[in-house]
Structure 1
Amino acid sequence: MKIDERVEQLVRDTLHWAVKRQPIEFDRALTAFSDATMRQSALELLAAIAAFVSADICQGKPTPEQIQQLSEEVAEAEAWSSTTSPEVEAFLNAVVTGRPMSGVLPAGSAVVLAFVVAASLLSFRPKGEGEWWFNYLDKVEAAIEAAG
């Protein structure tokens, strides 16, 4: 997957506020995705990030049980966002299996949910000493682009 640099920076800026759990700033950052093309590009990137990080956390493709556990952990950690475990589970099941989001979640909520899930997974995935979520994101994006 070739990552659009403009979308990447906007996604990173928005992920920053989601990781910090700052709802007002997060909502403001979401306004950058006002048109359908930008939302779709962001959703594709966030889905790839969530799929990669969940596989990394689970040391391979997550099983349905692992997805359920991750979903519960994300929903609990991200209670500020009103994200529910069933929503997270539906999103993760779709991204892990490569299914399209249409029909899984309402179009408007899929992008918000994708940011919350990706931010949560990036922030609670174990990292090395002195490594931050954005350092890990650099590695994730490099792997996504290398995979094509």
Structure 2
Amino acid sequence: MKINSQVEPLARNAIHAAVQQDLAKLRAALRAIPNDQAAYESVALALAVTQLVMTNIHDGKPSEQQTRAVAAEIAQAEAWAQVSEEQVSNFLLRLVNGEPLAQAIAEEHIILAFVAAANLLSSCRRDSEEWWDHLDRAEAALEA
């Protein structure tokens, strides 16, 4: 995956707002995305990062049970985002099963893309690193 250097900071800002658990800041970061193409690429990057981290933490494609367990953790930890466990579970199951999410995507999925990425980047990072270091590693793996 080639990451657009103009879109990457926009996605990073949205992920940062989600790490801070600030819904108003997340919505502002999303509104700052200048056009539909940049929005599409930002969401696609967040989805790719989420899928990569899910695959890494489960040493391959996670099972439905593993995905539902992660969804429950995310829904509980990210209650500020006003997403239910069922919404997170359905979202992650579609993502790990390769169903398209980045085209004609609902606002709920856009927010979930960044919330899930933020949660996984911050909760599954190495002890010695920050979430953005984990994002840097994920982006490097995606571009490789």
Normalising by structure 1, what TM-score? 0.89
- Does residue 138 of structure 2 align to residue 140 of structure 1? yes
Specify the SS of the correspondent of 1:33. Answer: coil
After the TM superposition, which residues 1-148 of structure 1 pair with which residues of structure 2 at under 5 Å, given as runs? 1-33=1-33, 35-101=35-101, 107-129=106-128, 131-146=129-144
Q: Which protein is richer in helix relative to its size?
A: 1
**Closer/same/farther in 2, CA of residues 136 and 106 from structure 1, 3 Å limit:** closer
Residue deviations 1:74-133 (CA, integer Å, cap 9, x gap): 000000000111111122112212210279x9522211110111111111104132x101
Matched residues in 2 for 1:108 and 1:38: separation?
15
Cα offset for 1:66? Answer: 0.4
Task: Give the partner amino acid of 1:91.
Answer: F
Task: Give the partner amino acid of 1:138.
Answer: D
> Could you tell me whether the CA contact under 8 Å between 2:125 and 2:131 is conserved in 1?
no
Matched residues in 2 for 1:126 and 1:137: separation?
9
Number of equivalent positions:
144
Matched residues in 2 for 1:20 and 1:77: separation?
12
Specify the SS of the correspondent of 1:6. Answer: coil
Mind listing any 5+ residue stretches in structure 1 that lack a counterpart?
none
Specify the SS of the correspondent of 2:112. Answer: helix
Q: CA RMSD in A?
A: 1.8
Matched residues in 2 for 1:3 and 1:126: separation?
21
> Could you tell me whether the CA contact under 8 Å between 1:42 and 1:111 is conserved in 2?
no
Matched residues in 1 for 2:13 and 2:105: separation?
24
Mind listing any 5+ residue stretches in structure 2 that lack a counterpart?
none
> Could you tell me whether the CA contact under 8 Å between 2:40 and 2:102 is conserved in 1?
no
Normalising by structure 2, what TM-score? 0.91
